[in-house]
């Protein structure tokens, strides 16, 4: 009887570990380009090329991205906007909550600033105003993660932060 109990406990523990460590891919998130109004693209990336869309999937994660870049100008002004909408499942013992993902909301070697978006959001800014400032903004909302990378020349830090936050809010408003 004791042997049978031990076998059952071992099987249960092994089954629990197997289930906990299982990878479960989530359903695909919606395409991200249609979630952002055309006026936002036109305002943030003037004289832009066509929108480019694609997928970036990994274990326990599916995501769609949207990329738009400004056309070349004589003055050298440029801008680009990359937005990714990811949806998380189970992977390596982590649940599907975006907040449970390591490193998504914390970047090393940069100062992370909090933003009041979703469940949690942070951004950092890099680059130079003259050659191009870049903001990386990451936000979580349930099982979704939104990443915004916006780069522009001759833009003040407050404007670039507000721009990236606006794009993230556009996407979050559909979820």
CATH number for the domain spanning 86: value is: 2.60.120
Kindly state whether residue 109 falls inside one of the protein's structural domains.
Answer: yes
Say what the pLDDT of residue 165 is.
Answer: 97
Kindly state whether residue 49 falls inside one of the protein's structural domains.
Answer: yes
Kindly state whether residue 7 falls inside one of the protein's structural domains.
Answer: no
Kindly state whether residue 6 falls inside one of the protein's structural domains.
Answer: no
Kindly state whether residue 5 falls inside one of the protein's structural domains.
Answer: no
- Residue 123 corresponds to which tokens in the numbers above? 């951004």
Say what the pLDDT of residue 15 is.
Answer: 43
Say what the pLDDT of residue 6 is.
Answer: 46
What is the spatial distance between Cα 126 and Cα 136, in angstroms, rounded to a whole number?
8
Say what the pLDDT of residue 58 is.
Answer: 86
**Per-residue pLDDT tens digits for 26-70:** 889 999 999 999 999 999 999 999 999 999 988 888 999 999 999
Per-residue pLDDT of the chain (175 residues; tens, 9 = 90+): 655 544 444 544 444 444 456 888 888 999 999 999 999 999 999 999 999 999 998 888 899 999 999 986 656 678 999 999 999 988 877 788 888 776 666 666 678 899 999 999 999 999 887 788 899 999 999 999 999 999 998 889 999 999 999 999 999 999 9
Instruction: Report the number of distinct structural domains present in the chain.
Output: 1
Kindly state whether residue 13 falls inside one of the protein's structural domains.
Answer: no
What is the spatial distance between Cα 143 and Cα 95, in angstroms, rounded to a whole number?
9
Kindly state whether residue 28 falls inside one of the protein's structural domains.
Answer: yes
The boundaries of the domain holding residue 70 are: 23-172
Kindly state whether residue 15 falls inside one of the protein's structural domains.
Answer: no
């Amino acid at each position: 009887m004791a042997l049978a109990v031990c076998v059952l406990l071992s099987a249960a523990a092994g089954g629990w570990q197997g289930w906990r460590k299982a990878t479960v891919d989530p359903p695909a998130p919606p395409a991200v380009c249609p979630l952002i109004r055309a006026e936002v693209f036109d305002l943030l990336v003037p004289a832009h090329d066509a929108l480019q869309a694609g997928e970036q999937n990994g274990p326990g994660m599916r995501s769609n991205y949207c990329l738009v870049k400004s056309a070349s100008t004589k003055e050298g002004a440029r801008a680009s906007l990359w937005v990714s909408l990811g949806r998380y499942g189970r992977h390596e013992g982590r649940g599907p909550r975006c907040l449970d993902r390591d490193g998504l909301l914390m970047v090393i070697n940069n100062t992370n600033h909090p933003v009041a978006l979703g469940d949690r959001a942070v951004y950092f800014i890099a680059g130079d105003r003259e050659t191009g400032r870049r903001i990386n903004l990451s936000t979580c909302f349930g099982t979704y993660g939104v990443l915004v990378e916006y780069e522009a020349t001759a833009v003040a830090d407050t404007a670039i932060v507000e721009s990236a936050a606006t794009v993230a809010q556009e996407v979050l408003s559909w979820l």
